[in-house]
Amino acid sequence: MNISKEVKRAQRGKVSSFEKLVTSHQLILYRIARTILSRNEDCADAIQETIVKAFEKLSSLREPQYFKTWIIRILMNECYQIVRKRKNIVPFEDWKETSSLEKGYESIEVEELLSVLPHEQQELIKLYHIEDISIQDLSSIYEVPENTVKTRLRRAREKMREILEQEDEVQWKNGKIK
């Protein structure tokens, strides 16, 4: 799909083009929302609001090729609003709930470790690991130069390494802490 072409068509009032755009981005929208919100119901609400706002404000998007990061920014704002309203910044406990369904202790442990990082670094690391999100995208989402994104990522990863090294008792073995 040619994103720019579809955006231009949608801007001219073609709703089916807007639908195509949203459908092709629904995976990434969910994954982004899930990095901020713990409950799938909240993710659904945030995505719903995002779709409506994106539809209403599509004409304000000057550069069609930036549709992805533009709609992600709208989504993140919606997610933050929900967080502010409910004051439920994604805690690892909630991740634990969903992860435990898969019997995967590893994710719990990773989230526990990640939770030691400041919130901004947690978010950046999670976003960075979402498929289809590039450094360039992060630069556009955060509206900072790519080098700044790289520096922030490097610092976050170094911190994670430090934490892992300090946690002597933490030994990775078959995904369990011994």
Partner 1 sequence: MEKWEDKIKKEVNKLPPKIITTHIEDTLQRLPRNRRLSKLSLSVAAILVAFTTSLGMSYISPTAADTFRSIPIVGSVFETVGNIGLKKGSEQGLTIELGQQIEFDRHRVTFTESLYDGSEIHIGYIIESLDPTNPKPNQNLLRDIRFGIDGQYIDGGWGARGLELDNGNYAETLSLRPIDEIPDNFILEISPWEGRSWKVNIPVERQGDSDSFLVNITKETKDIILHYDMITFFPTATEIAFRTVEDTSRIENIDNSQFIQYLVVDDQGRVLQPFGGGGGGIQRGDKVIQSLKYTFEPLDTIPNSLTVKPYLESREEAIQVQKKKWSGEVISLSQGGIGDMTVLSVEENDGVTTISYIIDGEDAYSQSSSFRLEDSNGNHYYTDDMPPARVEGTINQYKATFLKAPPLDDLFIAVFQNDIPNFIEELEIKIDLQK
Q: What residues line the site for partner 1 (CB under 8 A)?
A: 9, 12-16, 18-19, 22-23, 26-27, 29-31, 34-35, 40-41, 43-45, 47-48, 51-53, 55-57, 59-60, 77, 95, 99, 106-107, 110-111, 113-114, 125-127, 129-131, 157, 160-161, 164, 172
Burial class (CB in 10 A: 0-12, 13-18, 19+), 177: middle
CB of 120 to partner 1, least distance (A): 16
> What does the block give as tokens for 108?
């719990």
CB of 126 to partner 1, least distance (A): 5
First-to-last C-alpha distance (Å) of the chain:
48
CB of 136 to partner 1, least distance (A): 18
Other C-beta atoms closer than 10 Å to the C-beta of 26 total: 12
Residue with Cβ nearer partner 1 (83 or 157): 157
Number of helical (H) and strand (E) elements in the chain, helices listed first: 9, 2
**CA–CA separation, 84 vs 111, rounded Å?**
21
CB of 68 to partner 1, least distance (A): 16
**CA–CA separation, 135 vs 40, rounded Å?**
26
Q: Which helix (H) or strand (E) covers residue 177, if one does? A: strand 176-177
Residue with Cβ nearer partner 1 (9 or 152): 9
> Residue 49: beta bridge partners?
none
- On whether the CB atoms of residues 11 and 59 are closer than 8 A, the answer is yes
Residue with Cβ nearer partner 1 (145 or 164): 164
CB of 147 to partner 1, least distance (A): 21
